[in-house]
Amino acid sequence: MYKKNKQRQMATAMHRYHLQPTSTDDSIASNFTNPMRMTSTSSSLNRPVEMCIFLRTGNVYEFTLDNGGMVTASSLQEMMLETLEMTEEADDVFYIWLTSPLLKLQLKPNHVPLKLCRQWHDLLEKFTNATNEQIAADEPCVFFQRNAFYPKHKELQITDEKILRLLFCEAKEHVLDGVYGCENDEYEYLAGILAFIEHGKYDSKKHTPIFLSLSSETILPSRLCRRRSQKTSQRASQKLSKSFEVENRVLSHWKQVSSIVKCKADCHKNFLEFLWKMPIYGSVFFTGEIEQANAGKSIVGNNLKLVYIGINRDGVYIMDLRKQELLLGLLYDDLSWEYTDQNPNDEKSLPCLWLEFDATEGSKKVSKLLRIYSKQAPMMNGMIQACIVELNNQDKESLTPRPHNTVESSDLGVVEGPCTGIDRTRSTTVQARSASHRIGHDTVDGAGIARAKSLDGRSRAYMTLPSRKPKVTLCKKMDKLCLSTFSETGDLITKKTKLSRPFSMTGIFKL
């Protein structure tokens, strides 16, 4: 992702801007010596600072900031909105992020980017498993992108093409990175839309399976791409084309798209509408490890599986990082969780996030427990807490159900994510949120099915593309997870997770 941005820098739009800061943080004294990336060195507090802010479109905007060591994230936010000439609506949709290949932070309004830049290597050491060499080489960039706390139901109502284009570019990156865990046929449908955006209207004489395979990296996740030689003969191409099942299906979708849409803006809208139906859309992704279900067959000393943990305002999702597969999805009404800190007597231990949820085995109801090892566990805990607080506040404010089961926007400030709550007080108490804890009517629709139906029935601003509906149910692939199982009374039935300390079952599972 970052390599692609660098390759496009020569063709990006550069704008200069002068800003007088309002903050007076005398502890900041930094300078950006490289306009493409953030680096921090000692300098005079009053010295102008050059800063580049990236968009997910690949564009870069260069600004000269007077007394730049005191400029806050909120000032940069206003600056970008003015420069991009965006409507007031965009002020809630997007915000300032500090990102690198190792860590991503959404800043609070009062955060000073240059201050965090100076602390970047300390943050990497605290919240990642990167080596000293990786930490030394890592530098953050400033991005203007989607606010992680922006409610999905408000996003569904957006018609501004500028906003939709920025949202589309960010969603496209997530799709190509495979973090949404789509099925293959869903990737193929979305690739048909991306092919129209990348190459224009479908032409059967020009757009062959070979043509598509040579440019598939821009429309398909890497695991579905095939690399073919550009020197392949025409006869060989005809033989090979019979094996291009994925490419042929993408071409079929591309052909359908070309017969309906009139411009790229139509495609941006339809691409987003498809993803909006997925519960995992809009998640902030953290990294962690879980014990493998088949640990006995694994290599000695390597019984942990790398996973992404996606968290949004609706729930928590576990993704197999290597296979790009969704293993588990839980709404907040369906889970309890607990955060445990690192063992002070064991330097090799890691903070953990524990997820507990109900399941049925035969005719019996049981509780399942999953343990996630991660230095980012306190951040995951902080983000879940923030989402739960907002959901409870929503219930207190209204006795009527809100559309699409999504929380109203509020000034939460930060998703330090994927790092939430660097300064947040850590909680070690499980916080369960069942229907009995709700105030007013229950607005949760279980697996998001009602939300998808309402989407299908509402009027659209653009023409609808023929497509297979995306999955709207939450995935629970129990056989691929290493879970401990407990009875309704809290008795341990099977133990697959290695407990490092005793638990009070009545304290953990408050249902």
The pLDDT value recorded for residue 186 is 93
Distance, in Å, from the CA atom of 225 to the CA atom of 245, rounded to the nearest integer, reads: 11
Q: CB count, 10 Å around CB of 62?
A: 17
Average pLDDT over residues 405-416: 36
- pLDDT exceeds cutoff 90 at 198: yes
| Segment 466-485, tens digit of pLDDT | 556 887 878 888 788 888 88
Question: How many residues belong to the chain?
Answer: 511
Average pLDDT over residues 399-413: 40
**Percent of the chain clearing pLDDT 70 (strictly above):** 68
Instruction: Give first-to-last CA distance, the chain, whole Å.
Output: 42
For the chain, the C-alpha Rg in angstroms (whole number) is 24
Distance, in Å, from the CA atom of 414 to the CA atom of 392, rounded to the nearest integer, reads: 19
Average pLDDT over residues 124-135: 93
Identical fold, 2-147 and 183-276: no
The pLDDT value recorded for residue 496 is 65
Distance, in Å, from the CA atom of 365 to the CA atom of 372, rounded to the nearest integer, reads: 23
The pLDDT value recorded for residue 294 is 64
**Percent of the chain clearing pLDDT 90 (strictly above):** 43
- DSSP string spanning 76-139? HHHHHHHHTT--TTHHHHEEEEEE-SS-EEEPPTT--HHHHHHTHHHHHHHH----HHHHHH--
Pairing of strands 104-106, 94-99: antiparallel
Fold classification of 2-147 (topology level): Ubiquitin-like (UB roll) (3.10.20)
Rounded (5°) CA angle 111-284-333: 115
Pairing of strands 364-373, 352-361: antiparallel
Query: Under CATH, which architecture does the 183-276 domain have?
Result: Up-down Bundle (1.20)
Domain ranges of the chain: 2-147, 183-276, 309-508
For residue 397, how far is the Cα from the chain centroid? Answer: 28
